[in-house]
Structure 1
Amino acid sequence: MKHCLLRTSNAYRQIGGLLNATFGNATEMIISIYALKSNMIRVVQQSLLGSILSNMLLVLGCAFFTGGIAHYKKVQVFDKAAAIVNSGLLLMAVMGILFPAVLYFTHSEVHEGKSVLSLSRFSSCIMLLAYASYLFFQLRSQQNVYTPVNEEGDDGENSDEEEELELTQWEAIAWLAILTAWMSILSGYLVDTIEGASKSLNMSMAFISVILLPIVGNAAEHASAIMFAVKDKLDITIGVAIGSSTQISMFVIPFCVVVGWCMGKEMDLNFQLFETATLFITVLVVAFMMQEGTSNYFKGLMLVLCYLIVAASFFVHDDPIKSGND
């Protein structure tokens, strides 16, 4: 009976983390589609890249740091198996984004100007298939594998029973949908004013798109990840931060490529060399931090400091592509 309760609780956490990431990333999807209509392809690429970097370094780092401070007398743990699966998907996303950039910058295209776009569209379809398989694997096929480590034992079971539900399932979904709809209304104004903000603030479009825009867009995920880390529920924190990054890289980005394909826009996976290298190093750093399945405030501090280095790099980075047209 106890193991059945643990499996049921774990399934609800997986669905809850997925819903949190999905509704949280709905804003990025809406902004990206609106920007694609305006042919602002670089804004789409950089804002989605910024969301991945923000979730993996800033959100996860702050969560690890605050959770480590709140529970400084012990080492916080999370499910290592689920973290490894997410890390593998992120590395697959890096592969999908890396090869078009390498193909472009090595000038080794069979059909110059067309091979990168064709490869991007093919890779996007493969990535969407992989993400759909991951959802089936996570929610249906392997539910019993991912048992949150901090729920093993009587203490975790009792703490779940003692928690009171503040919102029902449908009330929570309704509020998420309402807030997402409101953000979609504001996204149009945001895309229209980003170029003017770049000129008035004397900042590059790359810095605004990669750093400032995702920080604002990920505010809800940031707060929820920290809250769950303070409550010593790092499995949900990982689901919010890393799960959101996985969804953006394996679903939102390929989805935007396919949508751009249908709209006749040349949206591809060539994020340029600087951005691709940044993503590659970030995924390696975060995968290394999570390989032990433990967390403390020092790991969180290192992730936040890494994000500051990334932010400073984009502050002095001059994007070689000035317009939205590739």
Structure 2
Amino acid sequence: MECLEGRSVVELENASLLGPSSFQRKSLSFAEVSPIDHDCEKFSQDVVRSKVLSSIKVVVLSTKINLLMPFGPMAILVHNLFDSHGLVFLFCLLGIIPLAERLGYTTEQLALFTGPAVGGLLYATFGNATELIISIHALKSGFIHLVQQSLLGSILSNLLLVLGCALFAGGVVFYKREQSFNHADTSVDFGLLLMAVMGLIFPAVLHATHTELENEKSQLNLSRFTSCILLVAYVCYIVFQVKSQKNLPALVEEDGGLNKETTDDAEVPEISMWESMIWLAILTGGISVLSGYLVKTIEGASKELKMPVAFLSVILLPIVGNAAEHAGSVMFAVKDKLDLSLEVAVGSSIQISMFLIPFCVVVGWMIDCPMDLNFQPFETTTLFMSVIIVAFLLHNGTSNYFKGIMLILCYLIVSASFYVHTDPAPIGGKL
């Protein structure tokens, strides 16, 4: 009887284990594990949130120039609520300045993760992205002469204003001696600039002398052929620069004193590669939107502000696009790194003349827009004289504050010339 009673007790216990209450207890035990999963999910969300906030702090809040960012949304708001092209144009200019500066910063951050070859392509693509975006918007609207003048103005701004301010600032800080730079690299750079000027002169002379084999077609065909040649020359220049950078470590190893300085100057990325790519897309999109409003309102702004379109496109637009180059070039000159200042100012001019201008001609060719290299005699003469003056001042490989003053004064003469210049060609076409 005791055995039977013991067996019945065991059966009752087994039955209780298989009963609904057991499943309820098991379900409760599983429910007890789920808070851990929620904690992990919450932890991952907190990490992503902190990463996003950290990235915004580095890119958006780390420099005072970003105080101008609200002018971008204000330009769109004024365009939709009021009929004031002048205000929209000015607000777009102010709104593009911080976006262009941050675009240069994120490009530098992304280039730290790549090799010299990819880094060179990145600088070629995004170094003058503001001018490129404005030019593409203008080409789509048929504003051929606006594209030509804005790109010409960027070259003049870099060669005269940006480089002049850099030489002046460096000369003031180091007034007791002359600063020096690599004369060999400078001669190559100005050779490329003179090659670009030659590519602009021949179509203008062909048109001015009325010696075209076919009226207007010869000028356009010559411009497209020359543009392809200039693009090939620019690719060769990039390859040459990359090869020179690869040979630099071997030269540094021969002088042991330079190794410590090189390692000390090594930059550490402040944001990750994916963050750089995301910010590049965001900033490029913002510049593209504001550039559209800029192009649409430039004619109305010219009438409201009582300034020639040539002055707005050659002087004001490039100052906005070259804001990052201006600050960087002056900063390097003050730190006695004049080679870097020349690389920023003159290198940007080479990018525009050897890459952006021919690229816009090719893009116009693809979208059936007759963009050519005939920049009109007044503009072409201004560019030729500017290149000759800068090359003459820098031919001996030394610099001082007086050379910087001369370049700044030359830019003031150019600005006054375009202020009183009556453009014979409308911004939406050619003569």
| TM-score, normalised via structure 2 length | 0.67
Rounded to whole Å, the distance in 2 between the matches of 1:51 and 1:16 is 22
The structural deviation recorded for 1:164 is 6.4
What displacement does 1:179 show? 3.2
Identity of aligned residues (%): 62
> Are 1:138 and 2:241 matched, yes or no?
yes
Q: SS of the counterpart of 1:317?
A: coil
In structure 2, do the counterparts of structure 1 residues 272 and 108 end up closer, same or farther at CA, with 3 Å as the change threshold? same
For 1:117, the aligned partner's letter is L
| Higher RCO by CA contacts (8 Å cutoff, separation 6 or greater) | 1
Aligned to 2:141: 38
Q: How far apart are residue 178 of structure 1 and its match?
A: 4.2
Change (3 A) 1:72 1:102: same
Cα RMSD for the two superposed structures: 2.8
Pair 1:62-2:170 in alignment: no
Distance 1:148 1:40 in 2: 49
Kindly report which structure 2 residues correspond to 1:89-238, keeping only aligned pairs within 5 A, or say none: 89-140=192-243, 143-144=246-247, 154=257, 157-158=260-261, 161=264, 165=268, 167=270, 170=273, 178-238=282-342
Is the Cα contact below 8 Å between 2:154 and 2:318 reproduced in 1? yes
The within-5 A match list for 1:12-51 is: 19=122, 22-51=125-154
Distance 1:20 1:323, change over 3 A: closer
* Letter in structure 2 aligned against 1:261: W
- Alpha carbons of 1:311 and 1:13: their partners in 2 closer, same or farther (altered >3 Å)? farther
Partner AA of 2:384 in structure 1: F
Counterpart of 1:299, as a letter, is: K
Match of 2:386 in 1: 282
Q: Deviations over 1:50-102 (max 9, x none)?
A: 00000000000001111111122222111111111110000000000000000
**CA distance in 2 between partners of 1:255 and 1:232 (Å):** 34
Q: What residue number does 1:80 align with? A: 183
Could you say if the C-alpha distance between residues 281 and 18 of structure 1 is closer, same or farther in structure 2, counting changes exceeding 3 Å? farther
Pairwise CA distance, 1:22 = 4.3
Seen in structure 2, the aligned counterparts of structure 1 residues 293 and 75 have a Cα distance that, compared at 3 Å, is same
Partners of 1:51 and 1:114 lie apart in 2 by: 28
Gaps of 5+ in 2: 1-113
How far apart, CA to CA, are the structure 1 residues paired with 2:133 and 2:363? 12
Q: Is the 8 A contact 1:77 1:293 kept in 2?
A: yes
Answer whether contact 1:23 1:177 (CA < 8 A) is retained. no
1:104 Cα deviation after fit: 0.3
The residue number in structure 1 matching 2:3 is none
User: In structure 2, what is the Cα distance between the partners aligned to 1:180 and 1:66?
Assistant: 31
Between 1:79-88 and 1:169-178, the stretch displaced more is: 169-178
CA deviation map 1:237-259 (0-9, x unaligned): 11111000000000000000000
Separation in structure 2 between the aligned mates of residue 109 and residue 230 of structure 1, nearest angstrom: 50
Deviates more, 1:121-130 or 1:137-146: 137-146
CA contact (8 A) 1:17 1:239 kept: no
Given that 1:46 and 1:206 are in contact with CA atoms closer than 8 Å, whether structure 2 keeps it comes out as yes
* Contact 1:63-1:237 at 8 Å conserved across structures: yes
Does residue 299 (structure 1) correspond to residue 377 (structure 2)? The answer is no
Question: CA separation in 2, counterparts of 1:320 and 1:162?
Answer: 51
Verify the 8 A CA contact 1:42 1:324 in the aligned structure 2.
yes
The one-character-per-residue Cα deviations of 1:225-246 (angstroms, maximum 9, x if unpaired) are 1111111111211111100000
Partner Cα separation in structure 2 for residue 257 and residue 199 of structure 1:
29
Give the aligned residue type for 2:420: V
Which amino acid counterpart does residue 97 of structure 1 have in structure 2? L
- What amino acid is the match of 1:187? S
CA pair 177-241 structure 1, distance change in 2 beyond 3 A: farther
Gaps of 5+ in 1: 1-10
How many residue pairs match? The answer is 315
Q: Which amino acid aligns with 1:183?
A: I
Could you tell me how far 1:173 is from its partner in structure 2?
Answer: 6.8
CA gap 1:160/1:142 in 2 versus in 1, 3 angstroms: closer
- What letter is aligned with 2:159? M
Contact 1:204 1:318 in 2 (8 A): yes
- Superposed CA offset, 1:24-71 (max 9, x none): 311111110110000000100000000000000000000111111112
1:319 aligns with 2:426: no
Q: Is the 8 A contact 1:76 1:295 kept in 2?
A: yes
Tell me the secondary structure at the aligned position of residue 302 of structure 1.
Answer: helix
How much does 1:117 deviate?
0.4
Corresponding position of 2:354 = 250
1 CA distance for matches of 2:294 and 2:251? 39
Which entry has the higher C-alpha Rg, 1 or 2? 2
Shift of 1:18: 7.2
